[in-house]
Amino acid sequence: MSTQSFAFVGKGGVGKTSLSAAFIRLLGERYPDKKILAVDADPAVGLSVALDMVPPMTVDDIRMRIAENIERGETADAVSLLSEARFHMTDCIAERGNLSFLAIGRPEAAGCYCKVNAYLKQVIEMFSDNYDFIVIDGEAGIEQINRRVMERITYLVPVSDGSRKAISVAQTIADVASRLVSCERTGMIFNRVRSGFTPPDADELPPVLAVIGDDPNQTQKDMEGESIFTLPPGSPILAGAKKALEALLGEKSESL
């Protein structure tokens, strides 16, 4: 089976991390013999808590080691680190059962994330053939799409909370991704929406995979730092994520 990847994108605060974690849990339960890589590509570093997994180091830790060696004039060490990137990246992975976890980290220096995003792109490509599923919790906004950090994705999942701004951001990301990213399918999830919410009927929006209402239990557990694995199976976010996952996999799920 070729690797299938899911990338969650959208405005900040719409629940991308929770949905990424829900997909990871559901994939693990549905395909216990498959290898899953969870990638926290958001500098806010929330997926670690949602999965209750802490990596030994982050992608940015490795990048900084290379940069520091170059700044000190120790180019031989920097070249060695680059040539052994795969080996050093394995030091960044936390593992539990069939689940592996890798985090981009949060650069200490202020300013642009361009360098670490460029490095993250290489890391995703490096590991893509080693796993059956890759689930990426993207950073807020459109930067990682613009810079083609996620250049080849099986499923792109814009997330919106139903607000005008969140819908606009999701719509823009989907539009830009259609021109810059190679993906088989794009499907949208409306999450944390008010009671009675109806998705807007707009041709510019991707097909709606699921509409998920507020989940007070999940919100409470999130505030307490509890992982997605502590939620009961009937929780709204898990039920909605399951519906979205099945819609995306479709016929492919029969051959997995």
DSSP 182-244: EEEEE-EEEEEEPTT------TTSPPEEEEEE--HHHHHHHHTT--GGGS-TT-HHHHHHHHH
pTM summary value: 0.84
Q: What share of the chain is helix, strand, coil (3-state, %, to 5)?
A: 45, 20, 35
Rounded to an integer, the average pLDDT of 241-254 is 82
Q: pLDDT at position 67, please?
A: 62
Asked if 19 and 157 touch (Cβ cutoff 8 Å), the reply is yes
The domains located in the chain, with CATH, are 4-251 (3.40.50.300)
pLDDT in tens, 7-49: 999 888 899 999 999 999 999 999 999 999 998 887 766 899 9
Q: How far apart are CA 198 and CA 211, in angstroms?
A: 8
Q: pLDDT at position 37, please?
A: 93
- Choose the most confident range, by mean pLDDT, from 46-50, 135-139, 242-246: 242-246
Q: When comparing pLDDT for 199 and 84, which is higher?
A: 199
Q: pLDDT at position 90, please?
A: 75
Token pair recorded at residue 170: 């999701």
Q: pLDDT at position 18, please?
A: 94
Q: What is the DSSP letter of 35?
A: -
Q: pLDDT at position 174, please?
A: 81
Asked if 180 and 148 touch (Cβ cutoff 8 Å), the reply is yes
**Taking all residues of the chain, what is their mean pLDDT, rounded to a whole number?**
80
CB under 8 Å, gap of 24 or more: what pairs does 193-199 form?
193/161, 193/162, 194/162, 197/162, 199/162
Q: pLDDT at position 38, please?
A: 94
Q: When comparing pLDDT for 110 and 232, which is higher?
A: 232
Token pair recorded at residue 59: 């992608």
pLDDT in tens, 51-76: 999 888 877 777 676 666 556 665 55
Q: How far apart are CA 227 and CA 27, in angstroms?
A: 16
Instruction: With cut-offs at 50, 70 and 90, classify the pLDDT of residue 112.
Output: very low
Instruction: With cut-offs at 50, 70 and 90, classify the pLDDT of residue 173.
Output: confident
Percent of the chain's residues with pLDDT above 90: 38
pLDDT exceeds 80 at position 111: no
Q: pLDDT at position 184, please?
A: 86
Question: Which of these ranges, 56-60, 132-136, 146-150, has the smallest mean pLDDT?
Answer: 146-150
pLDDT exceeds 80 at position 115: no
Taking phi first (over 0 means left), then psi (-120 to 50 degrees means alpha), and beta for anything else, what does residue 97 get? Answer: left
Asked if 207 and 171 touch (Cβ cutoff 8 Å), the reply is no
Instruction: With cut-offs at 50, 70 and 90, classify the pLDDT of residue 148.
Output: very low
